[in-house]
Amino acid sequence: MADVMGNARDLGLPVDVPSTALFTDQYEFTMLQAALRSGTADRRSVFEVFTRRLPDGRRYGVVAGTGRVLDAVENFRFDPDVLGFLREQSIVDEPTLQWLASYRFSGDIWGYPEGEVYFPGSPIMRVEGSFAECVLLETVILSILNHDSAIAAAASRISTAAGGRRLIEMGARRTHELAAVASSRAAYVGGFNSTSDLAAGFRYAIPTVGTSAHAFTLLHDSERDAFRAQVDSLGRGTTLLVDTYDVAEAVRTAVEIAGPELGAVRIDSGDLLLVAHRVRQQLDELGATNTKIVVTSDLDEYAIASLAAAPVDAYGVGTQLVTGSGHPTCSMVYKLVARAESGDPKAPLVPVAKKSLGAKSSVGGRKWAARRLDADGVAEAEVIGLSSVPAELADRQLLVELVKGGEIVARESLDAARERHVMARAGLPLSAMQLSKGEPVLPTEYV
C-alpha cells in the first residue's frame, strides 16, 4: 500500500494534491487574522465533528475518509505560491501571512476509527490544539468526511441488499474525476469488492475490473466477431456483454466461442429479474454451469434487493452509489465545544456551545463516546458523556487517537477499515439492515 501511494506522489498525478491549505473557506482566514490581533489565537481549543441527524430514513451512518483526513492534515502547508495568492487577493494581512508560512498542525486528533458506525450526536472526530491551528482545518475535514461517509453509507446499504454477492463500483463517469477516486475508496470501506476506476486502483490498491462496453460490439461487423476478438485477447474467463442485440442469441454465441469455461456474461438492460433467470437457464442447458451472471443498469439498494431471488452473481453500481443513493452529504458540522480561559497552556477548558431557537443548537464540552451492549452482546445505545467514563463502558469506548502532537499515529490499511465495518454493522440490532425508512437504530444518550 505504501509503495502504491508513494508512486502516486512521485508522479505528481492529479489524484494526489501537494497542498490542502486552500481547501478552506475564506472566513477561516479572517477569523485567524482577527484572533491573532486580539490575542486569542493561542487559546487551547477543542473542536468536534458530529451530525445532528442522519439522512432522512437512514438507520445508521458509516465513518469513512479518516485516512484521507490524515493525509490532508499532513499536507496542510502554505508554500510560496499559496501565500502569494493570499497576499495578492488581500485575504489576510502581512502578520497573518507570516504566521501561516510556518503552519504545522501540532495538536491532537481523536476519532471514530474508519469503518465504524455512528449516530446523531456521535463525536466522530475531535480536534484539539490552539484555536488558530484548529480553525483552519474545518472545511477540509468536513468536505472529506461528509463526502466519503455518505458514499460508504450507501455502499453499506447496497452491500446488505446484495447478501454476499460481489459488488463492483462503476461510478467514475458520474462524478468529478477526483471525487470518483474518493468514492471508490469509500465504497470499498462500505463493502464493495472492486472498482472500474484505475486511478483508485493505483492510488489505494483497490482491486480493479473491466472488460468491454457496447461500443466494442458495435465496432465489429457482427457480435460473433466482437466476442471472438475479446476471447482471443482476454481469454475464456472474460465477461461478455450480451444485451447489445438479442440476449438469447448472444448467450448462445458466447458459449459457442468461449465454451463452458466462459467466465461471465453481463446484462445491462431490460427486466433484469426475468432476463437473469432466462440467461441462467440457457447457460446451464448449454453446459456453462459455472459461468457467472453480472448485472448493471442504474442499480441501487432497492433494485438489488428486488433481485435477491435472481440467479445473479455480481452487481455493478455507478450513479446511485457515487451520489450517496439520494443522500450525497451527511450534514456533519465542525463546532468549537471547549476553549481555555486564556492563552496559558495550563488554563482550564471551558465548555462552549451555540444556543439556537431552531435545530442548530449543540452540546458543549469535550466528550467521550461508548456503545452500550445488551445481555446478548447487541448494541443498544450510543452513550456520550462529559465527565469520567463509567467502569462498565471503559472497554467500549469508540474514540481512538489518530494524531498526537502533530504526528500521525494511526495509519491503517483500507482492508482493516473494511473489516471493521463488517464487525460494527454485525453488532447492531437486526432492524439496522432494513432498507425501509426508519429512525436511527440506536438512541443517543447523554450522561
Please tell me the distance from the alpha carbon of residue 216 to that of residue 230, in angstroms, as a whole number.
Answer: 9
* Position 304 pLDDT exceeds 60: yes
Note the pLDDT tens digit of each residue in 162-182. 999 999 999 999 999 999 999
pLDDT at position 345 = 87
Angstrom distances, CA of residue 356 to CA of 27, 255, 274, 353, 360? 21, 66, 54, 10, 6
Could you count the other beta carbons within 10 Å of the beta carbon of residue 298? 11
Note the pLDDT tens digit of each residue in 111-144. 999 999 999 999 999 999 999 999 999 999 999 9
pLDDT at position 387 = 85
Note the pLDDT tens digit of each residue in 90-114. 999 999 999 999 999 999 999 999 9
Q: What is the DSSP string of 389-416?
A: PPGGGGGGB--EEEEETTEE-----HHH
Please tell me the distance from the alpha carbon of residue 200 to that of residue 314, in angstroms, as a whole number.
Answer: 20
* Element counts in the chain: helices (H) and strands (E): 16, 18
pLDDT at position 7 = 43
Note the pLDDT tens digit of each residue in 224-256. 999 999 999 999 999 999 999 999 999 999 999
pLDDT at position 366 = 96
* Whole-structure pTM value: 0.93
Note the pLDDT tens digit of each residue in 31-77. 999 999 999 999 999 999 999 999 998 999 999 999 999 999 999 99
CB half-sphere exposure, 311, CA atoms < 13 A: 18
The CA dihedral of 349, 117, 137, 8, to the nearest 10 degrees, is 140
HEC states along 229-250?
HHHHHHCCCCEEECCCCCHHHH
pLDDT at position 362 = 83
Note the pLDDT tens digit of each residue in 108-119. 999 999 999 999
pLDDT at position 2 = 38
pLDDT at position 361 = 76
Determine the length of the chain: 447
